Amino acid sequence: MAVSRNLQGWLLAAPLTAVLAGFLVLPILTIFIVSFWQATEFSIIPAFSLENYQFLLTSPVTYQVFFKTFIYAALVWGLTLAIGFTVAYYLAFHIRSEATRMVLFLLCTIPFLTSNIIRMISWIPFLGRNGLANQALMSLGIVDAPVEWLLYSDFSVVLAFVHLNTLFMITPIFNTMMRIDRSLVEAARDNGASGWQILTHVIIPLSKPGIMIGTIFVLALVMGDFITVRFMSGSQSANVGRLISNDIALLQYPSASATSIVLLAVVLLIIGALMRFVNIRKEL
């Protein structure tokens, strides 16, 4: 009987296992193998070599680009966490009507019904030299000339990243907050805890799983992105994603594969470090 149940379990898991193997494990394994190949301007040589990794790990440009990527990821994470936690907290603890709460949450998702590229490009006429933001600043007398750094700068890159990824922080935090037992909050309030104490000693600790899940989403998306940096910086800035994209455009697939493997390893190390702070499986 136990053998039959185990066999049934394996059969049920077989389709998902096949999908994961075909669309996740096999592509990563292929990229890993190609990362050890050699390439010239005209051809790819399937011969084992550490040349790609040696060049990647000894080039100052690599460390500059990775540092820039970490800066983007840290800024976007901090801003999306502040916005996401605030919105989730308001929806979970200040909106009493379930229907109103769901309507407001769905309103947060409306921008995500359109393409990322469309939402990103929509900032260009707003932030441009003759855009609405500069016109408003000059009409109010705040500035005398258009502000140049609003567009095609690190500011516009971070702004677009925050706009594109905030929902990925709001959703898991909101979901976690909705699972918090309200009697714990009432008990803390009855024992004389202030609003700040309730927030820091009850709500934030119990919201850690959602915060960690949102953090993983945002960091993975920002560190692997390349199109946002390209468009919103006017090709004046770079991150690891753009480095990979440029190698692919030059048909340097082994070099792009090596960079991808290093980026994957870095992201997995970050996720592993985050998982040490909270056991997401246990908490959820």
Residue 81 lies in a domain: yes
Residues 240, 221: contact at Cβ < 8 Å? Answer: no
Confidence of residue 7 (pLDDT cuts 50, 70, 90): low
Whether residue 37 lies inside any domain: the answer is no
**DSSP-assigned letters across all residues of 151-211:** SSSHHHHHHHHHHHHHHHHHHHHHHHHHTS-HHHHHHHHHTT--HHHHIIIIIHHHTHHHH
Domain total in the chain: 1
pLDDT of 118:
86
Please tell me which residue, 11 or 226, carries the higher pLDDT value: 226
Mean pLDDT of the residues in the chain? 87
The answer to the question of residue 205 being in a domain is yes
* Position 261 in a domain: yes
pLDDT score at 261: 94
Query: Which residue, among 254, 45, 233, has the nearest Cα to 151 in the 3D structure?
Result: 233
Q: How confident is the model at residue 283 (pLDDT cuts 50, 70, 90)?
A: low
Is residue 224 assigned to a domain?
A: yes
Task: Determine the pLDDT at residue 4.
Answer: 63
The predicted model gives 36-65 an average pLDDT of: 87
- Per the structure, the complete domain to which residue 209 belongs is given by 60-282
Is 25 contained in some domain? no
Residue 221 inside a domain? The answer is: yes
Q: For residue 6, what pLDDT band results from cuts at 50, 70 and 90? A: low
- What percent of the chain is predicted at pLDDT more than 90? 35
Read off the pLDDT of residues 109-154 as tens digits, 9 standing for 90 and up.
887 788 888 888 888 888 888 888 888 888 888 888 888 888 888 8
CATH number, domain of 145, equals 1.10.3720.10
pLDDT in tens, 221-240: 999 888 888 888 887 888 89
267 in a structural domain: yes
For residue 5, what pLDDT is reported?
A: 66
CA distance 22 to 254: 21
